[in-house]
Chains A and B, each alone.
Chain A
Amino acid sequence: MDIHLLDAAPTVAERVAVEHVLGPPAGGWDGGIRDSERQGHSLRGGGHEARSRRHLLLPVLLSVQEHLGWISPGALNHIAERLTVPPADVYGVATFYALLSVDPRPPRVIHVCEDLACRCNGSQELIAQLEEHLGAEGELNADGSGTWLRSPCLGQCDRAPAAMVTLSGEHPEEHVLAPVTAQQVLAAIDGRPVDGADPVTPLQQAGDPSLQLLARVGRVDPVSLDDYRADGGYAALRRALELGGEGVIRELKDSRLMGRGGAAFPTGVKWEAVAHQAARPHYLICNADESEPGTFKDRVVIEGDPYSLIEAMTIAGYATGCEHGYVYLRGEYPQAHAILGAALEEARRRGYLGPDVLGEGFAFDIEIRKGGGAYICGEETAIFNSIEGFRGEPRSKPPFPVVAGLFGKPTVVNNVETLVNVLRVVLASGPGYAETGTEGSSGTKLFCLSGNVERPGTYEVPFGTTLTELLELAGGVAGGRELQAVLMGGAAGGFLRPDELDLPLTFEGAREARTTLGSGVVMVLDDRVDIPRFLQRIAAFFRNESCGQCVPCRVGTVRQQEALARLASGRTRGGAGAELALVAEIGQCMRDASICGLGQTASSAIESAIGRLGVFGGAA
């Protein structure tokens, strides 16, 4: 295919950034130098080969963004030429992701979280100070070398308020600042040293012998494979090899393990469906695009015990016939990326990954794919498009991923927490695993406590623990203040009143109480939180994160936000009652007619605040 390129050339640095991912060009076809001495130099060829690398589009764009700070027309053009992807297509992908910029950005950008948990911990005041000192987001500092941008949830809610620093250049760096002050952000923008970057937060339950999934977190050196093995690591893989693939799936089905990403689908059923598909190859994707505001449990697992995820994925690959696994890791997790990357390298070096895992005669390897700043890419079919190098728009189902997923092949998509549970299932046997928890919800569950709670963090409790018990474990409301509400499940979840805390934390209990456990968010809001403002942030979040593909979500999230703004200001059209009816109708259309789960849940927290908390005079 001939592609029409722009009249713009890349700089040397841009070429180098592209080559970090793609290597040097093979010849004239893909953007290199034509070598007339070489035999066959004039043959047209290599187009198919170049196009077959389209799945590297997002990694290349991220590399250019990280090294140069933005994606210039010359760089975009060069990427288009290297991959034989039309420049318009590259532009469509580049403008989809919030971490990528097609307009010039300075080398230092500080992404300051303005989302829910940080809001409970002073991020609004912090942002006000930044605006006072530097002006609105995107304004440059005095020498033009740095700026700050508002960011959706950075997944650091246990140490809010948070910021992420990106430093572009020959050796790009990314750091997390949490908790962060306005002074630190201002220092980081100017390139002055900031203490306490990339914090390691100890587990609140450290030393608790009942911990299963978090047992190693904080206790072993996360990148040491020997530490992992000395602590019982890789026993589950050996057991899985004894059981055989079908045996593993049988145990999983007996365990009644349900997916922990929010949808609670039976994991064994999913694995079995893929294992039995005739089409090859099969793919495994670990969904680590943890972007639901208030969620950070997967980050804690990856940063504290990366080998458990690697081992679990190896078992999944073995049982479902996948040779290639991807970890789709959100772009805002630099520490998790570094730790998991180091662990993968070590596992590969020691033969725990590769063409012949442990000499057992099966091949399995794992690749990290970094996200570009898009909540929607946590949707399981949007992940496929994102990995394949397209805009991260969800696909319509059917066909389901177990039949036609990544590259059109049968694909298992599991959340990080789901996967690490597999180790417990294999070691304890299915029925043994199911002894913990309740009939409908087996095992333990990770909960992310944040907001105005005394001891925020990731907590592991057996299913069936009540919300009251969980809140007591976390020390209750911070500073002994009065509880106003609890947000369960994040922006896509729902609110509970203080008189509803006897809720048993199970899938069935949540369903019965017409709420959701979702991704395990438990955000505590004290009496100072301005709920109408909080809801406006939720509405803004969904407007920002909608992919724009279908009308109900693309326009519905905007109309929902506008109606909430009118309700909050009191300048309604036809009174609060009429506005609430409008919000309910928009919500129903989004829930019923959107393509994916984002639109289908974009009104749930807002409607629960109206219906349960009685905000704006709704029926409480």
Chain B
Amino acid sequence: MSSQPLSLPKRMVELEIDGQPVRVFEGQTILDALRKLEIATPTLCYGDTLQPANACRVCVVELEGARVLAPSCSRKAEEGMRVRTDSERVRLSRRLVLELLGSSVDLSTTPVAEGYLSDYDARPERFGPPAPPDPARDRKRAGHHIEPDGQTAATVAGPVKIDNELYVRDYSKCILCYKCVDACGEQYQNTFAITVAGRGFDARISTEFVVELPESACVYCGNCIAVCPTGALMFRSEHELREAGEWKPDSQAVTQTICPYCGVGCNLELHVQDNAIVKVTSPDDHDVTRGNLCIKGRFGYQHVQGPRRRREE
């Protein structure tokens, strides 16, 4: 039995979305109201149990009387608000955000990208063919760049960073949603191994002076991987299977269990492919861990499938 803390009953606010009235609790967001009405709304940087960073702007909606569009993920619902989600302005901004991302970031492992791009008729290719990767991207100076000729579209592409046994970082796939930084920092882990460095289009996720993870403060809890919406952060096992063309999510089984290491009792979801654990996640709706794990729960599964464990048949 889980107990709920007693608190004053919450007030409701009523607003109107695309002409339909809806009531939500005071403090809930426009997105909560949209979901209550089952109005499909794209989100990229929103999710898990993190506070909304409202950086991607793909969930914007039109508020009557406002000069600019508002991010539905973080704007609180207010009494009497009149919201439009189906206007030309909303569709244009959402489409452009998807095109801007699609033209600069590799969205091939972002699960929702394909659907969103087709829902909004987004054509990222209209900005031109991708520019070759910029080898100096990790050390770009703020406020300086070489002027482009416009014949190719700049991207965030760079080599995959493989500097440890547990997970890889492929920032070619990074939409800079800030979730990994928030998870590593004050919202989850309080480790602060990574940060957003640089500015503007050159902003990137980095350790101090771009040191490799083993030299950084990283404790390999993998909570950044759990919140990454694009697959830029990935278990090394998944990365290697994908490279080999053997990643088969459809044939994977997910087994729920309890982490065997300590008394906290974190829930684990073991993703098993061909009788081997290839990835470990944890459910967001667990009141203690809220989707978080430590290095042992996240990566310490080798004993289950190590050679010494196998029984002689």
Contact = CB atoms under 8 A, between A and B. Distances in A.
B93 A3 contact: no
A554 B145 contact: no
Given A548-B202, A551-B57, A551-B97, A540 B147 contact: yes
B230 interface: no
B58 to A, nearest CB: 8
A4 interface: yes
Contacts of A556: 96, 100
Contacts of B93: 552, 588-589, 592-593
A589 B142 contact: no
Interface in A120-156: 137, 149-150, 152
Given A98-B199, A571-B150, A589-B92, 19 more contacts: A4-B193, A7-B215, A86-B192, A91-B197, A91-B209, A96-B142, A373-B143, A543-B145, A545-B143, A555-B104, A555-B201, A559-B153, A562-B128, A562-B150, A565-B147, A565-B148, A589-B100, A592-B60, A594-B68
Looking at chain B, what size class is its interface with the partner chain?
Answer: 35 or more
A308 interface: no
A240 to B, nearest CB: 34
Interface in A515-551: 536, 540, 543-551
A421 interface: no
Contacts of A149: 144
Contacts of B185: 89
Interface in A557-573: 557-559, 561-566, 569, 571, 573
Interface in B90-108: 92-93, 96-97, 100-101, 103-104
Contact of A569 (B56, B149, B217): B149
Contacts of A398: 76
B201 A557 contact: yes
Nearest to A90: B208
Interface in B176-201: 176, 178, 185, 190, 192-201
A595 B202 CA distance: 18
Nearest to B207: A88
A548 B200 contact: yes
Given A592-B89, A593-B57, A103 B139 contact: yes
A549 B127 CA distance: 21
Interface string A96-127: 11101111000000000000000000000000
Interface string B57-88: 11010000000110100101000000000000
A267 B120 CA distance: 42
B211 interface: yes
B203 interface: yes
Interface string A6-41: 110000000000000000000000000000000000
Contacts of A600: 68
A98 B126 contact: no
Contact of A554 (B58, B143, B148, B203): B203
Given A543-B201, A547-B200, A558-B201, A589 B208 contact: no
A88 B185 CA distance: 10
A565 B148 CA distance: 7
Contacts of B89: 588, 592
Given A76-B208, A91-B208, A556-B100, A548 B195 contact: no
A391 B196 CA distance: 9
A289 B140 CA distance: 24
A83 interface: no
Interface residues of A, number: 70
Nearest to A150: B144
A550 B201 contact: no
Given A3-B192, A554-B176, A562 B100 contact: no
A7 B208 CA distance: 12
Nearest to A375: B143
A589 B96 contact: yes
Contacts of B127: 559, 562, 582
B55 interface: yes
B194 A88 contact: yes
A516 to B, nearest CB: 14
B47 to A, nearest CB: 16
Nearest to B74: A396
A536 B145 CA distance: 13
Contacts of A544: 142-145, 199-200
B175 interface: yes
Interface in B104-146: 104, 126-128, 139, 141-145
B151 to A, nearest CB: 6
The 3 closest A-B pairs by CB, nearest first: A548-B203, A92-B195, A565-B150
A554 to B, nearest CB: 6
B97 A552 contact: yes
Contacts of A137: 144
